[in-house]
Chains A and B, each alone.
Chain A
């Protein structure tokens, strides 16, 4: 039996481990080396250049545009998405049964099922200045002045992309928060009602503090989404990344630097920068959340 045990363990673990080492671990490990080289894809032609790539990043206008846009998305997307999702989730949890609650949840969640590619192509159409759903609708109700070239005006392009991210994510977080709200003991809501608390006071005093952990998880997830943005920007925007860098994101700069211009070492340095940005964000978000929970206790 002992012999069979080791044979089983090896058979269970080795194939997956081989795949993991070859396709996951080794690329990540290589990335931390390549980022310090000037490699352009020719075998044996990688020279160690120290921190040169990272120094160049600081003066690369397009990369800085991308960092700025990702930072804006990081500030806006999680806040708006979580706000909307919390609002909708708590509306679903009315004092009386909410008519159509199940149907609403089904409809709201659906965008989460679609690939980002479909969402990008779809919203490219919706925002089309001449034939799109949005402008045609605005013109139809006499608001011609509000019809814009959503993705072509520098000041509107990034907000449009962010609106699409919010549109596609809200339903998922409604379901997440709904589960958290349902887990709150009913007596707490009853007590709030007996104390004469209104909807808003109940939300502030009961719901919000007790779903804090879910909100924190949502914040980390949405932060990672905001640091990406590649698919929507690559397919929806002019350029892509335009107009004039207005929607450039780090992932897109990295992809273009590597697979269009062949500067693989430099592109990998962007990947390392992105990794540390994501890591810092996750650590800060999680630690902040823990402090707040401790304060409440």
Chain B
């Protein structure tokens, strides 16, 4: 699945075209869409280094001198730093738990035939086809009754519960393709079931784990609806929540440069990670669709 997309971006053996002249329109169209995509992002980063006066009066001009203090102000005064750590804790916890539980379930269901196996599998997978909006109201009260509203563990458990079904679905297919002989040999060597899983099967499933891990990380990092409903305490806002709240309150305080800076801080880690791992990420994110 991943290898399908993970090939060199430029095909090497192209057919030599008989037409002598190159039509400039395709290049123009492709370049135009690249500009449309990149320009707003570049503009936001540049604006984060401007003064409020420059932002309001000269929207297209680059900053006279870069004002990095905007970033410092956003990080501390506008609490972007705190939101960032909150996101890191919640998403980190949920990601570890999701990968652990998801791979265990997927492996157990893919490798152990038992009565009710299919039922358990479909119980998990069916959840992918329901819109979260349908569960929103009852979920709020479930979390409230458990006393988990606005807590890190509450968010981590809910994030995990909603990320596990896709993880199971994806890894189930993956574990099924792994050769049975390896596991059987390990059992003959005296490995316990748990040891076969952790020492033999998990390493073999690494490409699948990486792909679904990237997919889950981005999905959880960008989550907005669940924290909006389940995480009302501003001190525990995750980054997406904090940024949204900031963009509303910015109207009153009119710290434009601070808001641009907050947005840039939220964008930069994703940008850096993307440039570093872009091929893996594109493969991981589209793998879910190519099944």
Contacts and interface: CB of A to CB of B under 8 A. Distances in A.
B240 A251 contact: no
Contact of B282 (A100, A109, A274): A109
B173 interface: no
A254 interface: yes
Contacts of B278: 106, 109
A25 interface: yes
B37 A167 contact: yes
Contact of B102 (A7, A16, A98, A125): A16
A115 B244 CA distance: 11
A294 interface: no
Given A9-B114, A110-B274, A91 B26 contact: yes
Contacts of A8: 108, 192-194, 197
A264 interface: yes
Is chain B's binding surface mostly helix, strand, loop or mixed?
helix
B68 interface: no
B56 A131 contact: yes
B200 interface: no
Nearest to B148: A23
A234 to B, nearest CB: 8
Given A190-B15, A268-B138, A275-B130, A113 B281 contact: yes
Interface stretch (B70-78, B176-184, B204-212, B260-268): B260-268
Given A92-B30, A107-B37, A186-B15, A231 B225 contact: yes
B202 interface: no
Given A16-B102, A117-B243, A107 B38 contact: yes
A12 B108 contact: yes
B221 interface: yes
Interface in A83-123: 84, 87-88, 91-118, 120-123
B90 to A, nearest CB: 14
B161 A278 contact: no
B89 interface: no
B216 to A, nearest CB: 14
Interface in B1-40: 4-5, 7, 9-18, 22-23, 26-27, 29-31, 33-34, 36-40
Interface residues of B, number: 107
Contact of B289 (A9, A176, A199): A176
B217 to A, nearest CB: 11
A240 to B, nearest CB: 10
A27 interface: yes
A271 B134 contact: yes
Contacts of A91: 26, 29-30
A267 interface: yes
Contacts of A104: 30-31, 33-34
Nearest to A8: B193
A242 interface: no
Interface of B: 4-5, 7, 9-18, 22-23, 26-27, 29-31, 33-34, 36-41, 43-44, 47, 55-57, 59-60, 101-102, 104-105, 107-109, 112, 114, 120, 123-124, 127, 129-131, 133-143, 146, 157-158, 160-162, 164-165, 168, 187, 192-194, 197, 218, 221-222, 224-225, 228-229, 239-241, 243-244, 247, 256, 259-260, 263, 266-267, 270-271, 274-275, 278, 281-282, 285-286, 289-290
Give the 3 A-B CB pairs with smallest separation, nearest first: A115-B222, A8-B193, A102-B9
Given A41-B141, A100-B30, A104-B34, 6 more contacts: A96-B17, A98-B30, A113-B218, A133-B40, A258-B136, A274-B134
Interface of A: 1, 4-5, 7-9, 11-13, 15-17, 19-20, 22-28, 30-31, 34, 41, 84, 87-88, 91-118, 120-126, 130-133, 136-137, 140, 167, 170-172, 175-176, 179, 182-183, 186, 189-190, 193, 199, 214, 217-218, 221, 224, 227-228, 230-231, 234-235, 250-251, 254-255, 258-259, 264, 267-268, 270-272, 274-275, 278-279, 282
